[in-house]
């Protein structure tokens, strides 16, 4: 019963959420994206790559994009893949901090070591890029791949839905 009440509450909250991811980031996540980050958050590109300097905010903007998707699209699956568990953990920690800001206590899904589940049934799962780690993840609504040049080809070739976003690869 507790879980059902959380779902009902999440549905009510969704109705109050702006459908603009930048406004969501500003008002709900206390994240003030710069002009380029706003473009990334609003991008509807089918593929994306962020090629930028260290400390640009790739992790933060990717976490905000993942939280927006998970929060506004019930039962969505966001997969965060990187060459190692540590990098995936950093991304999930950023997403978990944003969930706390939203008043949602971060909890794991009970199946994956690095995971977050939202009251609306959405999940964010962190994977290391080993081929044995990606089985069973068919059709994530948003795969986010960190350090893609160092992640296995099998991980990068996860089944991708038509509207996928993997940060910001315009003109792909």
pLDDT tens-place string over residues 49-70: 777 777 888 889 999 999 999 9
Q: How many domains does the chain have?
A: 1
Confidence tier at 132 by pLDDT (50, 70, 90):
low
Residue 167 inside a domain? The answer is no
Is the pLDDT at 71 greater than 90? The verdict is yes
Question: Domain of 18: which CATH number?
Answer: 3.40.50.300
Residue 168 inside a domain? The answer is no
Residue 18 inside a domain? The answer is yes
pLDDT over 70 percentage in the chain: 66
Residue 94 inside a domain? The answer is yes
pLDDT of residue 116: 96
Q: How many CB atoms lie within 10 A of CB 83?
A: 19
Question: Which among 79, 74, 103 has a CA at the least distance from the CA of 157?
Answer: 79
Q: What is the pLDDT of residues 87-131, one digit of tens each?
A: 888 999 999 999 999 999 989 988 888 999 999 999 999 887 654
Q: Which domain holds residue 108?
A: 2-156
Average pLDDT over residues 59-88: 89
What is the side-by-side strand order in the sheet with 77-82?
115-117, 123-128, 77-82, 142-145
Residue 166 inside a domain? The answer is no
Is the pLDDT at 23 greater than 80? The verdict is yes
Is the pLDDT at 5 greater than 50? The verdict is no
Long-range contacts of 17-20 (CB under 8 A, 24+ apart): 17/71, 17/72, 19/72
pLDDT of residue 102: 96
The chain-wide mean pLDDT, for the chain, equals 76
Residue 171 inside a domain? The answer is no
Residue corresponding to tokens 């996860």: 158
Residue 151 inside a domain? The answer is yes
Is the pLDDT at 167 greater than 80? The verdict is no
Q: Phi and psi for 78 in degrees, rounded to 5?
A: -110, 125
3-state secondary structure of 114: coil
More confident residue, 147 or 120: 120
């Amino acid at each position: 019963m507790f879980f059902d009440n959380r779902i009902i509450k999440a549905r009510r909250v969704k109705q109050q959420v702006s459908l603009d991811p930048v406004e969501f980031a500003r008002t709900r996540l206390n994240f003030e994206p710069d002009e380029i980050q706003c473009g990334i958050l609003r991008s509807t590109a089918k593929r994306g790559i962020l090629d930028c300097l260290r400390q640009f905010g790739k992790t933060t903007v990717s976490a905000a994009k993942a939280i927006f998707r998970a929060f506004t699209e019930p039962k969505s699956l966001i997969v965060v893949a990187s060459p190692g568990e540590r990098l995936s953990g950093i991304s999930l920690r950023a997403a978990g901090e944003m969930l706390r800001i939203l008043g949602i206590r971060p909890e794991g899904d009970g199946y994956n070591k690095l995971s977050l589940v939202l009251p609306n049934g959405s999940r964010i799962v962190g994977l290391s890029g080993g081929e044995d780690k990606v089985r069973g993840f068919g059709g994530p609504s948003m795969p986010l791949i960190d350090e893609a040049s160092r992640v296995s080809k099998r991980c990068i070739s996860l089944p991708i839905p038509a509207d996928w976003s993997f940060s910001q690869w315009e003109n792909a």
